[in-house]
Amino acid sequence: MEETHNNQVSMPQSRDLPARERTAAGFTEELPKLLLASSSPRRSQILQMVGWPFELGAVEIDESLHESESARAYVARLAAAKALASADVHEHRPVLAADTTVVVDEHILAKPEDVEDGKRMLRLLQGRWHQVLTGVALIYAAGTEVDVELTEVRFAPMSDAEIDWYVSTREPMDKAGAYAIQGIGARFIESIKGDYFNVMGLPVRLVYELLRR
């Protein structure tokens, strides 16, 4: 898949990382403990899976979409806003924030407003490809990095009965695009191009790359 990273912000910040011993090649196995500015259980699960130490520091921000704002700009802006808001509360800590959305036909699909909205989203996605974009913001000793990861996902065709049943499980109701690739929704995913963890909500490889910039 083509390179999808697009650096958005680079500005100095005074955030300190724990002291780390590096090899001659500049590599260290030790990862800094992050303050995760997110209440998403999926993002916490991913960091736990890859052995990255963290604690929670979620904040509330206005997530309204600006007029004529692209999906890429939207998730980058929200990730940066979350990180900065959390950093203001928890000073001198490496802060990580992310925001994920789903795009089909240039329409942004956020979390469903209700059951019928969830069904509407699944009807749009079924039998075709769509894009999942996650904005990631990292504030640490070297400054602030904001980037965006893109993954393409193809849904299998779904019958009305399958859509009704899936929404009735309630799994789609707090997910962008109304599905969870790591849950029941996996049975409807035909193919994926890109980072699987990005679809879950946190492209951990991108986080690691941002830390090394």
Classify residue 85: in a domain, yes or no.
yes
> Residue 99's domain is classified under what CATH number?
3.90.950.10
pLDDT at 90: 78
Classify residue 178: in a domain, yes or no.
yes
Active site residues: 99
pLDDT at 25: 52
pLDDT at 24: 42
Classify residue 2: in a domain, yes or no.
no
pLDDT at 20: 43
Q: How far apart are CA 11 and CA 99, in angstroms?
A: 20
* Domain coverage including residue 160: 9-19+28-212
Q: How far apart are CA 35 and CA 87, in angstroms?
A: 9
| Degrees to nearest 5, angle at CA 181 with 151 and 82 | 65
What stretches of the chain show up as alpha helix (H) in DSSP? 41-49, 71-89, 115-125, 160-168, 196-200, 204-212
Residues 154, 128 contacting (CB under 8 angstroms): yes
pLDDT at 181: 96
Classify residue 4: in a domain, yes or no.
no
Residues 130, 155 contacting (CB under 8 angstroms): yes
Q: Which residues of the chain have pLDDT under 50?
A: 1-24
Classify residue 1: in a domain, yes or no.
no
Total domain count for the chain?
1
